[in-house]
Structures are given as C-alpha cells and as structure tokens.
Chain A
Amino acid sequence: MSSVEHIKEGRSRPSFPLSLLPLVFGRATPGAGSPAILALLMLPGLIIVAAFFAIPMALVAMRVADGPDGLATYFVILTNERYLASLIQTLVMSGGVTVTALILCGICGLFLVRNRFAGRNVITALLTLPLSFPGTVVGFMVIMLAGRQGVIGSVTDALWGEKIVFAYEITGLFVGYLYFSIPRVILAVMASAEKLDPQLEEAARSLGAPTWRVVKDVILPGLMPGLVSSGAICFATAMGAFGTAFTLATDIDVLPMVIYTEFTRNANIAVAAALSIALGAMTWAVLAAVRVFVGNGATSGTGGGA
C-alpha cells in the first residue's frame, strides 16, 4: 500500500530507516502528512520522553539491580518489616480515603445533578475549588481545620473546654487526602449522573421497586464507570502523594515519606529507588486495571497534584 503510494507520487522507494516509518504510523490515509513529516512532528515529544523519562527510569532500574542486594532489593518492600508496615498503612489509608470520598461524593453529586435550587451552581463551584491545590496547601488547609489554631479545636474548646487537634498525625493526612479527592470524584459522579436516563428509574419505580432496589439495580450500575475510574485516580494519588504529609509532620510513616527519608537522610539510594519503582508499578497497575475494566479514556483528564 505504502510503496504503491510512493510510486504514484513519483518517488523512489525510501531507504531503510524511512521504509520503517509506515510500520510505525500504520496505513497511509489521504490528506495526512507523509511518514517523514509525521516523524518530524513526533520528534520533540519523542526526544523528551526518551531522554528524560524512559532512559532515566531504565538507568534507575539497572542501578538497583547492580546494588549490593541485586534484584532482591525490589522485594525489600515485602521482606523488611518497617517497609511492609508502611506499605500496609499507606494501602489501608488510600483505600479508606477512596471509599469515603466515593460514598460522600456519590450522594452529593447525584443530589446536585437531580435537584435545581438556589445556590446550586455556587455549591458545585465551591466543591471543585481545591482541584489544583498542591499537596502543601492541602496540608495547610488541614492545619487550619484541625491544627492547634484550627476551627475544630476552637469549637470543641468553647463547647467542652477541650481542644481536639488531629492535624499532625495519620488522621490529619486522611482528612487532607479526602479534601483533595472530593473535587475529582464529585466531577466524575456528576458527569456520569447527567448521562443516566431518568426514564429507567421511573420504569423501575412504576413496576413497584423499592428505593434501595432502584439505587442498587439502576442508579449504581449507571454511575459505576465514573465511580471506578475516579476512585482509581483517588487511590493512585493518595498512594504517591507527598506534599501533604510533608507539611503536616515528617514522622507520618506513609510510603512516599519513607522513600524521601531513605534518599535524603540515609542516602540509601538503591533502596529508595527500588521502593519508588515498586510504588510506581503498583499505582500504574491499579490505573491500568481500571482502564481495562471500564474502557479506554476513563482515567484521563484528572489526576496530578497532591
């Protein structure tokens, strides 16, 4: 196909590297640029990804394998008691944040799509406010809420004469990740809720289905793709986030904090690299699994930050 085209355009057969181009770019379609032009268009992006991502990642992976413990370093996350404990703590907290955010945003997102009332648009805009706050700012918001000078502390102090402060521990981190996740999940829920067909619900009700059955059999399946994909992003972000924990306290033992201390304070580069590759592989696997489960494009557009 491509060689026919070249003859038609009055060109000789391309030399070896150029003859590979149609293989990379698929079949020629009329109107698009020639393979050489397409290659040129791709070049800047290709160079960036290769030189600053693919090659450094490969070098790090090799560096770990060349280290004192070789490939076994990758499993240190499972064999070392401290790392394993931190992995479990990180997994449990990220899972907890994800489930909490999904339940809260599921209810509120559906409510905001289904009802029209004064102030609805303002509430929606406010709920998506922290969308691009960096993790450090989210941490500061938690301090404002539950720190030594925070609202919760002042209110409980006034009510019971006892200041409740939980910003500088794992509970504070949980609150911070929830703060960060709400905008993402609520946007996803609202997008899927707008596509739900109210007639299906009407039909289920008119057939005598009780509310819980309508929710379980009609609403939840409709929202599922949005819930699953935003939940995955929520989970992945919570697993890898660093700024919030860094602002709240440096002794919260979540995995990114452990990696940071190994690298900076203990200069244990091989272990830090192995841990971060393991963490990266886990978050990537969660996102990839979800993409296979709900179809391509589900995990695009959101993410980043924290």
Chain B
Amino acid sequence: MRRDWKFYSQLGLTIVLCLFIVVPVVMSALAGVTVNVFKGLSSGLTLRWVFEVWDLYAQSILLSLGIAMACLVVTLLAGVPLAYVLVRRPSRMMRLFEELLTLPVAIPGLALALALLITYGGVSGYRSSWLFILTGHVLFTLPFMVRSVAAVMAAMDMKMLEEGAASLGAGFWRRFFGVIVPNAKPGILAGALMVVTLSIGEFNLTWMLHTPLTKTLPVGLADAYASMRLEIGSAYTLIFFVLIMPLLIAMQALADRGKRASRRIDTAEDTL
C-alpha cells in the first residue's frame, strides 16, 4: 500500500486518539505511587498510598469481589437455562420476554434503583444487606449472560445434537448437562467474564442502593475522589486497574479465538 499524506494524517489522528485514552490512565497510575503529586515524580516513588487505600477500603474491595462472584452464580443458574429456552423455542411471547429482560440495560440505572428503593426500601433486613446491591447487579448483568450464551447456542446445531443424544437414550437432563452446556462453553465463558467485569465496576445503581455498611469498590472510589488527597484516589484507581485488567485481557483473547475459529470455518467452506 502507498503511504502518502493521507496515510500519515490518519495515523496521526489515531495516535492522538490513543494518547487521549492512555495518558490519563498512565498519569493516574503514576500519581498513585508518587510521594507527592504536586512536586511531581522527582519526589520519589512509594507504595505507601496503595497500602493506605487497602487499610481504608479493603472491605469495599472485598465486598465488590464477593458480590461479583454471587452475581456470577445467580446469572449462570438463571441465564444459561433461559438462553436455552429462548433459542430452542422462539415464539412471540418469548421475544417479548427477552425485550423485558434486556430493558434494565437500556434504561438508566438511576430509574432502576429508584424502582427497587420504592418497592423494597421498607424491607429493612433486605434493604441494609449486600443482597440488595446484588439484586441490582443481577438485573443489570443477566441480559449480558443470556445474550452471550444464546448467541453461541443459536450458532450450533442444537436440534441435531439433541436428537442424536436422545436416540442414544439420553434423558433431558443428561442431554442438557452432557451435550448442550459443554457445547455452549465459549458463550458461557464470555458471558461470565462480562458479568464479573460489569459487576465490579457498577456504580449508577450501586450508589443509590448502598448503605454506609455496604460500600462497594466504585462507591469507595467516588468517596476517595471526593474527600481524600489525589494520591489516595490515584492509588485506589490503580488497584481497580490491576483487578480489571486480567478480565479485559481474557475477554479480548476469547473474542480473538472466536474470530479465528469462525474464519477457519469460512475458509473451510470456501474450499468445499
């Protein structure tokens, strides 16, 4: 390909966009390990702020991880069977239900949180426990699990697999757990990563649903940004990055593998 001024101007714009994304990330990561941000890097590097964040916010960080795991369990138990029914038996009523299921993604988290507060705010034991936050997270992440699993299920020839297994005498549950679930694994894995990532980062709903005793990681972040020194906020952000990065990389790798697999199928079909 010819490399003229058009190539270089587009490259320039791409690099500027890339810097726009990366510079603040790097700056905040550095600020989190700098002795004094106002004096700059020359004041030296330290892990003091990271430890201080851990002392202050360990509970919210651990609560977030716990809620994310609980959210994963609930979305797996409810979402995988739901995806199966939606794919296997499409009907108008099912499509309507799917629309209802996806609605919590489309409407602002604030609206959802208000509805939950008005309905269940009076149930004191539930309102003040972490289960209240879990409810919001499940509503928000369940559609992602269902979509991800359903996409894989729709692409595989479920009818043939199931008929084959049935003709060999496998009952429904045997077919479901022995054939359907293993074949849907890529979708389940992608959905699981998505659910955990979204749950760890969820703020819109959680800010409204939390109590002083049930603060999650992003709620703690907002608190640190508002009332702590810049280094603490930065160190906290750094901890968040470290938590979320492996999840993002795993998601990217999974997507790449899926793309390569589908390309292999394409070329195989071309040669036929």
- The chain A residues found within 8 Å of chain B, CB to CB, are 23-26, 29-34, 37-38, 41-42, 44-46, 48-49, 52-57, 59-60, 63, 104-105, 107-108, 111-112, 114-117, 123, 125-137, 139-145, 149, 151, 179, 182-183, 236, 239-243, 246-247, 256, 259-260, 263, 269, 272-273, 276-277, 279-281, 283-284, 287, 300-301, 303-306
User: Which chain B residues border A246 with CB–CB below 8 Å?
Assistant: 207, 222
Cβ-closest chain A residue relative to B87: A32
CA distance A19 to B158 in the complex (A): 25
User: Do residues B111 and A280 form an inter-chain contact, with CB atoms below 8 A?
Assistant: yes
User: Do residues A304 and B10 form an inter-chain contact, with CB atoms below 8 A?
Assistant: no
Q: How far is the CB of B63 from chain A (nearest CB, A)?
A: 15
User: Do residues A140 and B28 form an inter-chain contact, with CB atoms below 8 A?
Assistant: yes
Cβ-closest chain A residue relative to B15: A123
CA distance A303 to B143 in the complex (A): 11
Cβ-closest chain A residue relative to B141: A304
User: Contact string, B98-124, partner A, CB cutoff 8 A, digits 1/0?
Assistant: 001111111111111011101110000
User: Do residues A25 and B91 form an inter-chain contact, with CB atoms below 8 A?
Assistant: yes
The winner among A114, A242, A263 for most chain B CB atoms within 10 A is A242
User: Do residues B248 and A137 form an inter-chain contact, with CB atoms below 8 A?
Assistant: no
14 further A-B pairs in the complex, CB-CB below 8 A; given A183-B21, A279-B111: A32-B162, A49-B139, A108-B14, A114-B1, A115-B1, A127-B17, A149-B37, A179-B24, A240-B204, A260-B110, A276-B110, A281-B107, A283-B106, A303-B106
User: Do residues B24 and A277 form an inter-chain contact, with CB atoms below 8 A?
Assistant: no
Q: How far is the CB of A281 from chain B (nearest CB, A)?
A: 8
User: Do residues A33 and B172 form an inter-chain contact, with CB atoms below 8 A?
Assistant: yes
Stretch binding the partner chain, chosen from B42-50, B52-60, B74-82: B74-82
Residue of A25, A44, A55, A139 near B119 (CB, 8 A) is A55
Residue of B1, B91, B101 near A45 (CB, 8 A) is B101
User: Do residues A37 and B172 form an inter-chain contact, with CB atoms below 8 A?
Assistant: yes
Cβ-closest chain A residue relative to B120: A56
CA distance A150 to B151 in the complex (A): 43
Q: How far is the CB of A42 from chain B (nearest CB, A)?
A: 5
User: Do residues B10 and A277 form an inter-chain contact, with CB atoms below 8 A?
Assistant: no
- The chain B residues found within 8 Å of chain A, CB to CB, are 1, 7, 10-11, 13-15, 17-18, 20-25, 27-28, 31, 37-38, 74, 77-79, 81-82, 84-85, 88-91, 93-94, 97, 100-112, 114-116, 118-120, 135, 138-140, 142, 144, 146-148, 151, 158-159, 162-163, 165-166, 172, 175-176, 197-198, 201-204, 207-208, 218, 221-222, 225-226, 230, 233, 237, 240, 244, 247-248, 252
Per CB-CB distance, the 3 closest pairs between chain A and chain B, nearest first, are A240-B108, A280-B107, A31-B162
User: Do residues B104 and A53 form an inter-chain contact, with CB atoms below 8 A?
Assistant: yes
User: Do residues A53 and B17 form an inter-chain contact, with CB atoms below 8 A?
Assistant: no
Grouping DSSP codes into helix (H, G, I), strand (E, B) and loop, the B interface class, with mixed when no group exceeds half, is helix
Grouping DSSP codes into helix (H, G, I), strand (E, B) and loop, the A interface class, with mixed when no group exceeds half, is helix
Q: How far is the CB of B214 from chain A (nearest CB, A)?
A: 17
Known contacts A45-B78, A127-B21, A149-B37, A242 near B89 by CB under 8 Å: no
CA distance A48 to B23 in the complex (A): 41
Total A-B residue pairs with C-beta atoms closer than 8 Å?
Answer: 265
Residue of B27, B108, B172, B248 near A239 (CB, 8 A) is B108
Known contacts A41-B81, A115-B7, A135-B203, A140 near B237 by CB under 8 Å: yes
User: Do residues B204 and A59 form an inter-chain contact, with CB atoms below 8 A?
Assistant: no
The winner among A31, A127, A139, A303 for most chain B CB atoms within 10 A is A31
Q: How far is the CB of B238 from chain A (nearest CB, A)?
A: 11
CA distance A107 to B10 in the complex (A): 7
Cβ-closest chain B residue relative to A237: B108
User: Do residues B142 and A48 form an inter-chain contact, with CB atoms below 8 A?
Assistant: yes
Q: How far is the CB of A173 from chain B (nearest CB, A)?
A: 15
User: Do residues A48 and B10 form an inter-chain contact, with CB atoms below 8 A?
Assistant: no
User: Which chain A residues border B112 with CB–CB below 8 Å?
Assistant: 53
CA distance A19 to B22 in the complex (A): 59
User: Which chain B residues border A140 with CB–CB below 8 Å?
Assistant: 24, 28, 221, 225, 233, 237
User: Do residues B85 and A127 form an inter-chain contact, with CB atoms below 8 A?
Assistant: no
CA distance A87 to B15 in the complex (A): 35
User: Do residues A32 and B110 form an inter-chain contact, with CB atoms below 8 A?
Assistant: no
Known contacts A29-B159, A179-B20, A136 near B221 by CB under 8 Å: yes
Q: How far is the CB of A172 from chain B (nearest CB, A)?
A: 12
Cβ-closest chain A residue relative to B101: A49
CA distance A181 to B22 in the complex (A): 14
User: Do residues A42 and B118 form an inter-chain contact, with CB atoms below 8 A?
Assistant: no
User: Do residues B27 and A151 form an inter-chain contact, with CB atoms below 8 A?
Assistant: yes
CA distance A304 to B136 in the complex (A): 13
Known contacts A31-B159, A132-B197, A304-B140, A108 near B111 by CB under 8 Å: no
Cβ-closest chain A residue relative to B108: A240
Q: How far is the CB of B169 from chain A (nearest CB, A)?
A: 13
User: Do residues B172 and A263 form an inter-chain contact, with CB atoms below 8 A?
Assistant: no
CA distance A129 to B107 in the complex (A): 24
